[in-house]
Amino acid sequence: MVEGLTILVVDDEPAWVGALGALLGRAGHRIVAAYDGDEALRRFRADRVDAVLLDLAMPGLDGAEVCRQMRAESDVPILIVSGERDRTVPAELLDLGADDYVRKGAPSSELLARIRAVVRRRAAGAHASAVAAAGGAGSGWQLDMRRHEIRWQDALVPATAI
């Protein structure tokens, strides 16, 4: 179960941000809100977030450009949550780097499940990358970034978080 995430919610409709904030809060998550593309990028760079829920139609930078810039800087999961009706848009956004696309109005249980799924997949990939970066299989070193642990030949190495 993925709990206690910090999620950047980006939408120019304050009521929608509030509704998502209430839903995510009940699920045990914390939100960071942004109401346009420029603010989204500032908050993304300033706050450590575990996932992004991103609308497309916003003042300033649109969601597609925000997605492109976020993906160029980070591998944080990005879910597009939009009312866009054009059926070609989801494929374009996935090609830009979004991890999933959900239409506004989807059941809240589906949205929460999709958040859990993309975060779980990203964590599994990060774990595999971390072990490889520590020398790969057979080197004796293991780095578990989720648990913030370093192991040498299966023995925990004492270390600070920094």
The class level of CATH for 6-126 reads: alpha beta
For residue 72, what pLDDT is reported? 92
Model pLDDT, residue 45: 95
The predicted pLDDT at position 127 comes to: 45
CB atoms within 10 A of CB 63: 27
Span 53-102, pLDDT tens digits: 999 988 889 999 999 999 999 999 999 998 878 788 888 888 888 999 99
pLDDT at 87: 81
The per-residue pLDDT of the chain, averaged, comes to: 85
**High-pLDDT (> 70) share of the chain, %:** 83
Model pLDDT, residue 132: 46
Average pLDDT over residues 47-52: 94
Q: What is the mean pLDDT of residues 40-52?
A: 95
The mean per-residue pLDDT over the stretch 136-157 comes to: 73
DSSP labels, 28-89: T-EEEEESSHHHHHHHHHHS--SEEEE-S--SSS-HHHHHHHHHHH----EEEEE----TTH
